[in-house]
Amino acid sequence: MSPALHVRNLGGLLAAEPAWGWRTDRELLCAHGRVLAIGAGVGPALRSLERDGEPVAVLDAAGLLAVPGLIDGHVHPVAGSVSVVPPGHGWTDTYLNAGVTAMVSAGELTFPGFSSSVLTPEAAARLAANSAWAFGNIATPPRVYAGTLLAVPELDREHFRQVAQAGGKCVKYIYYPFAGRRWEAEVAAYTKWADEFGLVTKMHAGGTSYQGHSLEADAELVSAVAPRVLAHANGGPIPMDDQALATIVERTGCHLELILGGSLRVLRDLVGLLRERDELHRITVGTDTPGGNGTMPRGPLQVVAAIAGLGQVDAATALRCGTENVARAHGIPGGALAAGQPADLLLVGPVRGSSHPTVASALEAGEIVGVGAVVSGGAVAALPGRYTPPPAALPTLETP
């Protein structure tokens, strides 16, 4: 276990309590992997740690703001940090260095040897359970919530149980053959078992993916399946038409995931529609990578900036779309700076040379911000983040 971490000299922070928003607190304390105290609570908590003889590292934030670590709600991991599309190694570390402290798999469908044409129920369950187990045992950040059961015909309750027991989080409709067969009763059973075992249902939206054999879903089909999360609602990479999306927004309560690799025009319009309906809590953020768009370490941060800048959303709410909304949609911890939450946070500021003086004004102008430090599980994981340009001031760390 790493020492406790006292983050001080903050320029403020984005807090989850008592309401989501910016606060002027200048310090926070992390211990045992969690946020222990924020603002006025830090002094007493620090004295208590010192009485117990616990070592405390000090991170001087140099006036940067603390925000929750970003959560990429849509990745396609294979094994550890290995990517096969494009081939490479270390992609999860590059995302961490652009502020991503957690990610959620939307299917391990680029696993070498994988083919949707031989995806039997047994193979789908084994692939997901194996991934959940393997990623669940990786200690290095970012956290990867893997183990997504790819929905195919003739899965049974035991397959759902097996995946959930291994730590899997999602069920994904991407290859399921809806066309030309009666699927309603089977999908109803899948929804029931997903709910029973705490798995989140996701569905591929819009035109087919780069592999060319994923389903094409329209408003009728999405409304009938009623997934919890509509993956890449602005296109992966091809979106549904505007009317179909408006119908889904109207008829369902699903989360709408936005990615950088889809249509930015649709992102802007969808955010505008949800803003007018006061339903921005339905937005989640992802990258849908590694895949046809390559890898995108800064993807989540850029989507947050696009939500703010193109969608005319205040920066605090835009950041919430890429943090707490993703956690809530997937039933995972994190995404919020509050006592008891995982201590996954970033110290951010306008990039050196930006014409915008604050984090909020930069994001609302559609710019990314610089990541001065990434804290994961209460330990400094990047100082500064290597995959954003640096903020004007850089934090410094004193270890005990």
C-alpha distances in angstroms, 91 versus 135, 290, 400? 14, 8, 31
Q: Is 368 in the site for Zn ion (CB under 5 A)?
A: no
Nearer to Zn ion, 22 or 135 (CB): 135
Q: Is 260 in the site for Zn ion (CB under 5 A)?
A: no
232 and 206 in contact (C-beta within 8 Å)? yes
Residues written for the chain: 400
**Listed ranges 43-51, 101-109, 263-271, 384-392: which one lies at the site for Zn ion (CB under 5 A):** 101-109
Q: Give the shortest CB-204-to-Zn ion separation in angstroms.
A: 7
Q: Give the shortest CB-151-to-Zn ion separation in angstroms.
A: 14
Nearer to Zn ion, 106 or 254 (CB): 106
**Listed ranges 102-110, 267-275, 323-331, 385-393: which one lies at the site for Zn ion (CB under 5 A):** 102-110
Q: Give the shortest CB-106-to-Zn ion separation in angstroms.
A: 5
**Listed ranges 1-9, 46-54, 152-160, 287-295: which one lies at the site for Zn ion (CB under 5 A):** 287-295
Nearer to Zn ion, 36 or 174 (CB): 174
Q: Give the shortest CB-288-to-Zn ion separation in angstroms.
A: 4
Residue 29-58 contact track with Zn ion, rule CB under 5 A, x = bound: ------------------------------
Please give the residue whose beta carbon sits closest to Zn ion in the complex. Answer: 288
Q: What is the DSSP string of 300-352?
A: HHHHHHHHHHTTT--HHHHHHHTTHHHHHHHT-S-SS-STTSB--EEEEEPBT
**Listed ranges 148-156, 190-198, 281-289, 363-371: which one lies at the site for Zn ion (CB under 5 A):** 281-289
Nearer to Zn ion, 5 or 106 (CB): 106
Q: Is 288 in the site for Zn ion (CB under 5 A)?
A: yes
Nearer to Zn ion, 121 or 292 (CB): 292
Nearer to Zn ion, 288 or 367 (CB): 288
Three-class HEC string of 49-67: HHHCCCCEEEEECCCCEEE
214 and 190 in contact (C-beta within 8 Å)? no
Nearer to Zn ion, 5 or 329 (CB): 329
Q: Give the shortest CB-293-to-Zn ion separation in angstroms.
A: 10
Q: Give the shortest CB-119-to-Zn ion separation in angstroms.
A: 15
Q: Give the shortest CB-174-to-Zn ion separation in angstroms.
A: 7
- How many residues bind Zn ion, per CB under 5 A? 2
Q: How far apart are CA 6 and CA 42, in angstroms?
A: 8
Q: Is 257 in the site for Zn ion (CB under 5 A)?
A: no
180-187 contacts, C-beta under 8 A, 24 or more apart? 181/153, 183/153, 184/224, 186/153, 186/154, 187/151, 187/224, 187/225
Half-sphere exposure of 233 (CA within 13 A, CB side): 34
The string over 226-263, giving b where at least 16 C-beta atoms fall within 10 Å of a residue's C-beta and e elsewhere, is bbbbbbbbbbbbbbbeeebbebbbeebebbbbbbbbbb
Q: Is 106 in the site for Zn ion (CB under 5 A)?
A: yes
Q: Give the shortest CB-76-to-Zn ion separation in angstroms.
A: 6
**Listed ranges 93-101, 103-111, 218-226, 390-398: which one lies at the site for Zn ion (CB under 5 A):** 103-111
Q: How far apart are CA 72 and CA 286, in angstroms?
A: 5
Q: Give the shortest CB-392-to-Zn ion separation in angstroms.
A: 36
289 and 75 in contact (C-beta within 8 Å)? yes
CB contact set of 232 (below 8 Å; sequence gap of 6+) = 74, 204, 205, 206, 239, 257, 258, 259, 261, 262, 286, 288
Q: How far apart are CA 378 and CA 371, in angstroms?
A: 16
Q: Give the shortest CB-71-to-Zn ion separation in angstroms.
A: 16
Nearer to Zn ion, 20 or 173 (CB): 173
Provide the edge-to-edge strand list for the sheet that holds 21-23: 21-23, 12-15, 65-68, 345-349, 370-376, 379-382
Binding site for Zn ion (CB under 5 A): 106, 288
